[in-house]
Structure 1
C-alpha cells in the first residue's frame, strides 16, 4: 500500500514537472539573462524607473497587481499614470524612486500580491538573479538605455514584454507608430539639417530628480529628431550626455533660443526671481525666445511626450515646415495612442501651453 502511494506521488510529481516545462518558455531579457516564464502570466509588478510606463503602453495595466509608492506620491507629469487613476488603488510594493535603483527590494510586499512575473529596469543581472532566487518569481530586466535619452532598447523592451504578456501585436503597433513619427519629423526638417546657425539650448532637464536651467541633455531627443544640436555640445560633459552648465558658461554660450523642460519649470521660475539680472542678460530673454515644453524625463523618458515636444520644437524653429500641425491635436493624438487618453489639457494646466513663453516678461512688467 505504502509502495503504491509512493509510486503514485512520484508519478504525479513527474506529471507536474512535465506540465510546467511544456507550459513555460525561455526568454532572454535585456540583461542577457535566460529566464523561464510560465505561459499566460496574468499578474505582474513593475519595479524601477519607467517599468510601469512600458506595461501601460502595451495596454497591459489590467495585469498590474501592485505599484511603487513613488508613483502615488508624484501623480503628475507622467502620462501613463495620469491616464489610469485606477492604478492608485493598488497596494504598494515598495518605495521606488531614484534611491531604489539597483537595490534589493523588500520581498514581503511583493510576495503578498502574488505576481507571476516581476519586470524591472536599471537592475544588474546578478541582483536580478538573487531577487528571482529569493522570491521564486521570474524577474525580467527591461531597459531604456542611458538615463534621460531615447534609445532603441526601449522599443526592444516593449517587444520583449509584449511577447511575455501576449501583447505582440500591440508592441509592433508601437514600434511602427514611433518609427512613422520619427520619419515624419526627419522629412519635415531634412532641408534644414546641418544648415541652421542658431544656438539652441534646453534647460530644466530631469536627472534623478528635478533641476533648473543649468541641467541639460546633449542627446536631447526632440532636438535630435529634427536635426538640431544642443549648443551645450561645445562644453565638456562629466556625466555621460547629461551636463550641468553653470550660469557663467551659459552666458558665454548665449543661446539664440532656449527651451525649458516642464519638469524643471518651477525651479527655473524660482531661480528667475533670485537671479533676474542673469536672465535679462541672455539674448533669448531679450528677444523673447524662451519656450516651455512638457516634461521629457520624469522617472525616465516619457516616450510620447518626447515625440510631442519634438513637434513643438519643430513648429517653433521651422514654422513653415510645421504649418499644418496643430500642437494640441497632435499631442492628444499621440497621448491617446500611447496611454488611451487625451491629456493635452491636464498637461497644459500643470506646465503651461506647449511651446508658450514662461511668465518672465509679465512678472518684469509688474
Structure 2
C-alpha cells in the first residue's frame, strides 16, 4: 500500500514538475520575444517597430552613413550608395573605414536622387536609416515598397551641436544594440559644446573681434562671398559674426562690396574654397588689400567640413581653432591640432588631422597671393 502511494506521489510530482517547466519555458519564450522588439520614434515623428536588433543595415541619403559610422564604424553594413564609393578626401568617416567602398552598391545616392528600393532589397537589410525623407509620406512609401523598417535620421538646422543629431545617434544606437557607444558620442559632443561656451561666455562685447567666415563650401566650392548667418561654430565660441547684421540664417551669398563695408578684424577662409579666393585675388588684389584683416595679417584657415552633409567632427575641430584665434588667452591650454586628433579619435576611432592637413592645408594663417 505504502509503495503504491509512494509511486503515485512520485508520478504526481513528475507531472507537476513537467507542466511547470513547460509553462516556464513558454513564459520565457514569450518574454524573450517581446523584449526583442524595438520601437523608436524617428526624426519625422514616425513610430517604427523592428522585430529584433538590426544585424544588417544600410544608411542612405546625405550624411546618413556618417552618423551610422560614428556609432558602429563599418560593422553590420551590407550595402552602400555609389556616391560614397568615390574619393574619401574630406570625408574622415570614409578615410577611417575604406572597406565600406567594397560593399554592394544600393543606388546612386546624392541629394537629388531618390532611394533605389530594388537595389536596397537585393542586400536584405533589417533596417534602412535614411536622411532622404523630410516628411512621413516619403518614408512610409519606401517602407511600403521594401517591407523593411525605415528610420529617418537628421542633422537638424545647424548640424554641429544640434539636438536632432544627438537624437539620431541615440536612435541608431538603440536599433543596432549599441546604446552605450551612442550615449558616449552624444555626451562627448555635448561636453565639447559646453567647454567652448564656458571658455568664452564671459568675454565682454568690446573684446569680441568682428569676424567673417568666407568661401564656405556648400554643394561645391565658392569664393569669398559665400558665408553663413547665425553661424553655429562662431556661436559656439561667442564670436561676433558681421553677417548677422543681415538677419539671415544659413548659407548667404553676399555682395563683395558689403564685406569692404563691414571690414572685419579677422577673416577665416574655408580651405574648400581657398583656391577660388586665391584666383580671385590675382584678378583683383586691390579689393582684398583694402580689407583690414588682409593688411594686418589676420586671415586664417578653416578646414572644410561640408561633403555630402556635415562632417561634424571636423566642424567641432574648427570651432576650437576659431576659439583659439579669437580668444587666445581663453584657449591657452588648447593645441588645436591635438584637439582635432582627440576629436577624430573619439568619434571615428582614428587620428586623421594630418591627412586632412595634407589634403587642404590644416590650421594656419593664410597669405593671399
TM-score, length of structure 1 as denominator length: 0.87
Comparing 144-153 and 71-80, the one that deviates more = 144-153
Q: What is the rounded CA distance, in whole Å, between the counterparts of 2:109 and 2:257 in structure 1?
A: 36
Q: What is the rounded CA distance, in whole Å, between the counterparts of 2:169 and 2:254 in structure 1?
A: 34
User: Which residue number corresponds to residue 259 of structure 1?
Assistant: 268
Q: Give the drift of 1:96.
A: 1.7
Using a 3 Å threshold, how does the CA distance of structure 1 residues 205 and 148 change in structure 2: closer, same or farther?
Answer: farther
Q: What is the rounded CA distance, in whole Å, between the counterparts of 2:73 and 2:160 in structure 1?
A: 24
Q: Which of 185, 193, 199 in structure 2 is aligned with 1:174? A: 185
Q: Give the drift of 1:158.
A: 0.5
Q: Give the drift of 1:337.
A: 0.3
User: Which residue number corresponds to residue 198 of structure 2?
Assistant: 187
Q: Which of 268, 289, 307 in structure 1 is aligned with 2:277? A: 268
User: Which residue number corresponds to residue 23 of structure 2?
Assistant: none
Using a 3 Å threshold, how does the CA distance of structure 1 residues 122 and 246 change in structure 2: closer, same or farther?
Answer: farther
Q: What is the rounded CA distance, in whole Å, between the counterparts of 2:290 and 2:238 in structure 1?
A: 28
Segments of structure 2 that go 5 or more residues without pairing to the other structure are: 1-30
Q: Give the drift of 1:216.
A: 1.1
User: Which residue number corresponds to residue 144 of structure 1?
Assistant: 155
User: Which residue number corresponds to residue 200 of structure 1?
Assistant: 211
User: Which residue number corresponds to residue 341 of structure 2?
Assistant: 332
Match status 1:316 vs 2:325: yes
Using a 3 Å threshold, how does the CA distance of structure 1 residues 150 and 269 change in structure 2: closer, same or farther?
Answer: farther
Q: Give the drift of 1:197.
A: 4.5
Q: What is the rounded CA distance, in whole Å, between the counterparts of 1:277 and 1:74 in structure 2?
A: 37
Report the structure number with the largest CA radius of gyration: 2
Comparing 159-168 and 84-93, the one that deviates more = 84-93
Match status 1:346 vs 2:361: no
User: Which residue number corresponds to residue 10 of structure 2?
Assistant: none
Give yes or no for contact 1:66–1:93 (8 Å, CA) kept in 2: yes
User: Which residue number corresponds to residue 59 of structure 1?
Assistant: 72
Q: Which of 102, 121, 131 in structure 2 is aligned with 1:121? A: 131
Give yes or no for contact 2:208–2:240 (8 Å, CA) kept in 1: no
Q: What is the rounded CA distance, in whole Å, between the counterparts of 1:173 and 1:51 in structure 2?
A: 19
Q: What is the rounded CA distance, in whole Å, between the counterparts of 2:112 and 2:165 in structure 1?
A: 22
User: Which residue number corresponds to residue 258 of structure 2?
Assistant: 249
Q: Give the drift of 1:290.
A: 0.8
Using a 3 Å threshold, how does the CA distance of structure 1 residues 20 and 264 change in structure 2: closer, same or farther?
Answer: farther
Q: What is the rounded CA distance, in whole Å, between the counterparts of 1:31 and 1:25 in structure 2?
A: 17
1:338-362: CA deviation from partner (whole Å, max 9, x where unpaired): 00111110011111131x12342xx
Q: Give the drift of 1:71.
A: 1.8
Q: Give the drift of 1:222.
A: 2.1
In the alignment of these two chains, the number of paired residues is 339
Give yes or no for contact 1:150–1:301 (8 Å, CA) kept in 2: no
Question: What SS is found at the alignment partner of 1:255?
Answer: coil
Q: Which of 359, 366, 369 in structure 2 is aligned with 1:358? A: 366
Q: Give the drift of 1:236.
A: 4.7
1:118-141: CA deviation from partner (whole Å, max 9, x where unpaired): 101141211110010011111100
Question: What SS is found at the alignment partner of 1:98?
Answer: coil
Question: What SS is found at the alignment partner of 2:50?
Answer: strand
Match status 1:157 vs 2:168: yes
* Residue correspondence of structure 1 range 72-91 to structure 2 within 5 A: 72-91=85-104
Match status 1:68 vs 2:77: no
Q: What is the rounded CA distance, in whole Å, between the counterparts of 2:32 and 2:209 in structure 1?
A: 64
Question: What SS is found at the alignment partner of 1:200?
Answer: strand
1:137-188: CA deviation from partner (whole Å, max 9, x where unpaired): 1110001112665421000110111111111101111121112212221222
Comparing 266-275 and 91-100, the one that deviates more = 266-275
1:232-257: CA deviation from partner (whole Å, max 9, x where unpaired): 111253xx432111211111111111
TM-score, length of structure 2 as denominator length: 0.86
Comparing 267-276 and 169-178, the one that deviates more = 267-276
Match status 1:218 vs 2:229: yes
Comparing 240-249 and 126-135, the one that deviates more = 240-249
Give yes or no for contact 1:148–1:217 (8 Å, CA) kept in 2: no
Match status 1:111 vs 2:121: yes
Using a 3 Å threshold, how does the CA distance of structure 1 residues 335 and 161 change in structure 2: closer, same or farther?
Answer: same
